[in-house]
């Protein structure tokens, strides 16, 4: 990924990068911060924390943005309302999702935190291949239901039960379900902020990870694991209010 260098002309030896480095990979020598680039797992905290902008990666600079309060903050109530008002959208307009909107959604996934900063989440965008994949997955689901798989009253004969005629599917793949799940959650919010709707097709994930034909179409490797499948498109449904939820089960200690 990148190696860190620290410009000693700008470094004031304040030690902020040293104390914020989780893996103790920077030391203060003669009043200057010295990166070892040995244990570094590229979390970038040293880049983010330096008041002098003295810490530089040897690539990936295009990802670095200076903090700007106007564009980097959101009111707590606004954020909570976005979370509360988000719905699983299961009716879509017959309209494609623009490439730049899909790219922004994936960008939200890319910048989501991962355990040990592994950044091990990958993505598959499905558009053209939806009909082919839908046919294989629906057939398989019907077979599963026949032999007793319980989908609790859901109507599998309904038109496109799996993807609800959404024009695009965004899959996250990772060894870590937590990493991919966190990424997917931010991706869904990113879709919402762009006027799109989304829902997660857990049924498709269950089927796809065990179906060789689907895995071949998606050119998945043997050890690739789909964690989420988010259907996305322009909503053909309007919601007017938020909905009740169970009270939070909290144990205060
Ligand atoms: C992991 C996961 C899997 C889901 N799988 C499906 C699915 O296969 N089909 C579907 O219609 N909805 C699916 N959903 C959507 C849930 O049914 C939905 O989130 C829940 O009913 C609450 O509704 P809301 O999202 O509108 O708040 C899934 C949601 C999650 C988080």
What is the model's pLDDT at position 167?
98
Name the residue among 160, 155, 131, 158 with its Cα closest to residue 145: 155
Confidence of residue 144 (pLDDT cuts 50, 70, 90): confident
Query: 35 and 90 share a domain?
Result: no
Residue 126 falls inside a structural domain: yes
- CATH code for position 189: 3.40.109.10
Q: What is the mean pLDDT of residues 141-166?
A: 83
Atom of ligand 1 nearest to the CA of 205: 8
Query: 220 and 175 share a domain?
Result: yes
For residue 156, the CA-to-ligand 1 centroid distance in Å is 15
Query: 215 and 97 share a domain?
Result: yes
Residue 69 falls inside a structural domain: no
CB 176 within 8 A of CB 120: yes
Pocket of ligand 1 (CB under 6 A): 87-88, 90, 199-203
Residue 17 falls inside a structural domain: yes
Give the domain extent around 139: 74-233
Atom 6 of ligand 1 has which residue's CA nearest to it? Answer: 201
Reduce the secondary structure of the chain to three states and give it as a string. Answer: CCCEEECCCCCCCCCHHHHHCCCCCEEEECCEEEECCCCCCCCCHHHHHCCCCCEEECCCHHHCCCCCHHHHCCCHHHHHHHHHHCCECCCECCCCCCHHHHHHHHHHHHCCCCHHHCCCCEEEEECCCHHHHHHHHHHHHHHHHHCCCCCCCCCCCCCCCCCCCCCEEEEEECCCHHHHHHHHHHHHHHHHHCCCEEEECHHHHHHHCCCHHHHHHCCCCCCCCEEEEEEEECECCCCCCCCCCCCCCCCCC
Please give the share of the chain, as a percent, with pLDDT higher than 90: 91
Residue 250 falls inside a structural domain: no
Task: Report pLDDT digits (tens) over 64-91.
Answer: 999 999 999 999 999 999 999 999 999 9
- CATH code for position 55: 3.30.70.20
Residue 143 falls inside a structural domain: yes
Residue 247 falls inside a structural domain: no
Atom of ligand 1 nearest to the CA of 89: 26
Confidence of residue 155 (pLDDT cuts 50, 70, 90): confident
Query: 180 and 116 share a domain?
Result: yes
Does this model's pTM top 0.85? yes
What is the model's pLDDT at position 158?
74
Task: Report pLDDT digits (tens) over 215-248.
Answer: 999 999 999 999 999 999 999 999 999 999 999 9
Confidence of residue 145 (pLDDT cuts 50, 70, 90): confident
What is the model's pLDDT at position 152?
73
CB 24 within 8 A of CB 39: yes
Looking at per-residue pLDDT, the higher value among 56 and 160 belongs to 56
Residue 241 falls inside a structural domain: no
- For residue 72, the number of C-alpha atoms closer than 13 Å in the C-beta half-sphere is 5
Query: 167 and 218 share a domain?
Result: yes
Q: What is the mean pLDDT of residues 133-142?
A: 93
What is the model's pLDDT at position 1?
85
CB 205 within 8 A of CB 150: no
- For residue 21, the number of C-alpha atoms closer than 13 Å in the C-beta half-sphere is 25
Domain count, the chain: 2
Q: Is the pLDDT of residue 154 over 80?
A: no
């Amino acid at each position: 990924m990148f190696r860190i260098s620290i410009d000693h002309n700008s470094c004031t030896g304040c030690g902020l990068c040293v104390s914020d480095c989780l893996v103790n990979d920077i030391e203060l020598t003669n009043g200057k911060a010295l990166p070892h680039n040995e244990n570094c797992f590229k979390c970038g905290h040293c880049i983010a924390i330096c008041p002098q902008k003295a810490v530089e990666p040897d690539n990936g600079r295009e990802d670095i943005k200076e903090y700007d309060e106007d564009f980097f903050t959101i009111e707590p109530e606004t954020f909570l309302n976005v979370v509360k008002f988000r719905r699983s959208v299961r009716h879509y307009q017959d309209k494609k999702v623009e490439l730049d909107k899909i790219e922004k959604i994936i960008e939200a996934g890319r910048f989501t935190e991962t355990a040990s900063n592994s950044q091990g989440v990958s993505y598959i965008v499905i558009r053209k291949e939806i009909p082919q994949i839908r046919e294989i997955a629906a057939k398989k689901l019907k077979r599963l239901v026949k032999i007793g798989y319980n989908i609790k009253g859901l109507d599998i004969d309904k038109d496109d039960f799996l993807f609800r005629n959404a024009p695009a599917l965004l899959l996250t793949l990772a060894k870590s379900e937590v990493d991919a799940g966190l990424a997917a959650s931010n991706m869904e919010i990113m879709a919402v902020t762009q006027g799109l709707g989304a829902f997660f097709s857990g049924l498709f994930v269950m089927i796809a990870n065990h179906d060789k034909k689907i895995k071949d179409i998606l050119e998945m490797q043997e050890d690739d694991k789909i964690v989420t499948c988010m259907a996305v498109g322009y909503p053909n449904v309007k919601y007017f209010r938020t909905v009740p939820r169970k009270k939070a089960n909290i144990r205060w200690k």
